[in-house]
Amino acid sequence: MDKFVIEGGVALKGEVKISGSKNALLPILAATLLTQEKCIIKNAAILKDTLTMVKILRSLGVSVNIDNSTIEVKSGSFTKNTADYRLVSTMRASFCVLGPILARLKSAKVSLPGGCVIGVRPVDLHLKGLRTLGAKIEIKDGYVYAEAKQLRGERIFLGGSFGSSVLATDNVMMAAVLANGTTIIENAACEPEVEDLANFLNKMGAKIKGQGTPTIEIRGVKKLYGAEYEIIPDRIEAGTFAIAAAITKGHVVIKNIIPEHLGAVLEKLKEAGVLVKKGKDFIEVKRKNSLKPVDIATLPYPGFPTDMQAQFMTLMSITPGISVITERIYPERFMHVAELNRMGAQIFREGPSAIVHGVKNLVGAPVMASDLRASAALVLAGLVAKNKTEVFRVYHLDRGYEKLEKKLEILGARVFREKE
């Protein structure tokens, strides 16, 4: 396994280009199962998770070719309906093949999913939605078995204990495009990645309205066609680099993004005293003065994203005063707290909240990455810490950040990938 060795204390400066969105790409790759024709996906980030989804498609008998940031998929007349445990258990988004396989082959056998250890993330809304569309579903031996001779459009409420579900909305939407009649998804996820999937499906010939709002209408069609499509930029990667600029007292231009997708994150950065300038497809982030403590609570889009909570907590850990970080999406998503405290942070857990007492300095230490975004938080801490920081298990980072250490090096950071 690899580790990062970081020598902190460098103010990041320069320009960085953001890759395509991982969270948009993975469901879109699953959606290519809905047509026999060729699909060409551009601006794809070639990450560990991307390669896992490619392995799943290939295990089903689908042809997939990767050329730099372009992925060509042709599912043809694939007949395998089983998504194996060994692959699905490593990545939660792979569960999104359930809806497309069911819609195309009338039956599906998909392992219950895995992914980052950030608390319980049930699939009950996925199954509720597919059952409402007429699927018979059974869970046995760690697999979901689903059957439906013909899915039918229905009105579906997808509200859960912690709000809407992105992946459940994706799964139900993909199944509904080939159903008879019209499906209305109420309390649908509004995230840009859901909207991107809907736009891709429409380019394939689907009839979807209302994407990006809590109510999505899907009129079923008999057939979908091949399409060429460009993935939206990764707003979480962009937000991570924005915080990297802020935490190091740097000056960074973050290019190839959609600034509107970062609304809540940028507002909180401004509240913290960071200068943010927005352009058409870039943001300029600069910090001159002392930071101010800011409270945040994670919420479904357009609220503050749970995938930015750990990174923002790292910023608040060196901010004078007290800030409160509340996690309303995954209340157990605080695995990074103990590791940040090892570096000198003063963070105290109280239920779904973390109380952050800002310290003057973090100090480098060996730390262990527990999940994707916690890993990013530890790298950010290393960038500003005194002395040397070692971040172990960076395979988590490779799941969601394309060439992170190379991009940081371009900005002047001293980050080195080494074997553990």
Alpha-carbon distance of 82 to 198, in angstroms, equals 25
Alpha-carbon distance of 190 to 75, in angstroms, equals 28
The strand pairing partners of 195, in sequence order, are none
Contact 174, 100 (CB under 8 A): yes
Question: For the packed helices 235-247 and 263-271, what is the interaxial angle rounded to 10 degrees?
Answer: 10
Q: Is 116 a catalytic residue?
A: yes
Alpha-carbon distance of 94 to 106, in angstroms, equals 19
Tokens 């069609």 -> residue: 221
Phi/psi-derived region of residue 4, left when phi > 0, alpha when psi is between -120 and 50, beta in every other case: beta
Of residues 123, 16, 27, 92, the one with CA closest to residue 405: 16
E strands along 58-212, which residues? 63-67, 70-74, 82-83, 107-111, 136-140, 143-147, 155-157, 182-186, 207-209
Contact 309, 327 (CB under 8 A): yes
Exactly one of 39, 96, 116, 190 is catalytic; name it. 116
Which residues does the annotation mark as catalytic? 116
